[in-house]
Amino acid sequence: MTTNTFENDIIEGLQLSPKKLYSKYFYDDRGSAIFQQIMRMPEYYLPECETEILQHRATDIIGILPQAGYDIVELGAGDGSKTAFFLEALVRKKKNITYIPLDISPEILAVNKNIVQQKLPDLCIKPIAGDYFETLEKITSRKVPKIILFLGSNIGNFEGEKALDFIRFVKNFMRKGDYFMLGVDLKKHPRTILAAYDDPAGITRSFNLNLLERINRELSGNFDTALFDHYASYDPISGATKSFLISKIQQQVSVADQIINFSANEAIHMEVSQKYSLEDLDQIRMQAGFKSDHHFTDTKSYFSISLFEL
Ligand code: AVI
* Residue 52 and residue 183 share a domain: yes
* Residue 15 and residue 72 share a domain: no
SS (H, E, C) 225-274: HHHEEEEEEEECCCCEEEEEEEECCCEEEEECCEEEEECCCCEEEEEEEE
* Residue 7 and residue 87 share a domain: no
Q: What is the pLDDT of residues 45-100, one digit of tens each?
A: 999 999 999 999 999 999 999 999 999 999 999 999 999 999 999 999 988 999 99
* Residue 160 and residue 81 share a domain: yes
> Which positions ≥6 away from 35 have C-beta within 8 Å?
26, 27, 207
C-beta of 152 in contact with ligand 1 (< 6 A): yes
Q: What is the pLDDT of residues 99-124, one digit of tens each?
A: 999 998 999 999 999 999 999 999 99
> Which positions ≥6 away from 33 have C-beta within 8 Å?
none
Taking a C-beta distance cutoff of 8 angstroms, is the pair 247, 61 a contact? no
Residue nearest ligand 1's atom 7 by CA = 273
Q: What is the pLDDT of residues 7-38, one digit of tens each?
A: 999 999 999 999 999 999 999 999 999 999 99
C-beta of 157 in contact with ligand 1 (< 6 A): yes
Domain that residue 183 falls in = 46-188+278-309
Q: What is the pLDDT of residues 162-216, one digit of tens each?
A: 999 999 999 999 999 999 999 999 999 999 999 999 999 999 999 999 999 999 9
pLDDT score, position 291: 96
**Based on the structure, what is the number of domains in the chain?**
2
- Angular region, 202: left φ>0, alpha ψ -120 to 50, beta rest: left
Taking a C-beta distance cutoff of 8 angstroms, is the pair 144, 98 a contact? yes
213 Cα–ligand 1 center, Å: 19
* Residue 229 and residue 183 share a domain: no
pLDDT score, position 3: 60
- Residue 291 identity (one-letter amino acid): K
Residue nearest ligand 1's atom 3 by CA = 154
273 Cα–ligand 1 center, Å: 6
Say how many C-beta atoms besides its own lie within 10 A of residue 79's C-beta.
18
Nearest to 47 by CA among 81, 88, 97, 7: 81
* Residue 116 and residue 250 share a domain: no
C-beta of 178 in contact with ligand 1 (< 6 A): no
Out of 157, 166, 193, 194, give the residue to mutate to test ligand 1, the one with the largest number of ligand atoms within 8 Å of its CB.
Answer: 157
* Residue 126 and residue 174 share a domain: yes
C-beta of 85 in contact with ligand 1 (< 6 A): no
C-beta of 83 in contact with ligand 1 (< 6 A): no
116 Cα–ligand 1 center, Å: 24
* Residue 32 and residue 131 share a domain: no
As a whole number, mean pLDDT of residues 217-244 equals: 98
* Residue 164 and residue 70 share a domain: yes
C-beta of 273 in contact with ligand 1 (< 6 A): yes
C-beta of 103 in contact with ligand 1 (< 6 A): no
Distance, CA of 57 to CA of 54 (rounded, Å): 6
Paired with 303 in beta bridges are 185
Residue nearest ligand 1's atom 1 by CA = 154
* Residue 157 and residue 95 share a domain: yes
* Residue 205 and residue 72 share a domain: no
pLDDT score, position 2: 46
Q: Are strands 303-309 and 179-185 parallel, antiparallel or unpaired?
A: antiparallel
Mean pLDDT of the residues in the chain: 96
| Strand ranges in 66-116 using DSSP code E only, listed in sequence order | 69-75, 96-103
Asked if residue 234 has pLDDT above 70, the reply is: yes
The CATH code of the domain that includes 296 is: 3.40.50.150
Q: What is the pLDDT of residues 249-292, one digit of tens each?
A: 999 999 999 999 999 999 999 999 999 999 999 999 999 999 99
35 Cα–ligand 1 center, Å: 8
Q: Which atom of ligand 1 is nearest to the CA of 241?
A: 7
* Residue 153 and residue 300 share a domain: yes
C-beta of 306 in contact with ligand 1 (< 6 A): no
C-beta of 156 in contact with ligand 1 (< 6 A): yes
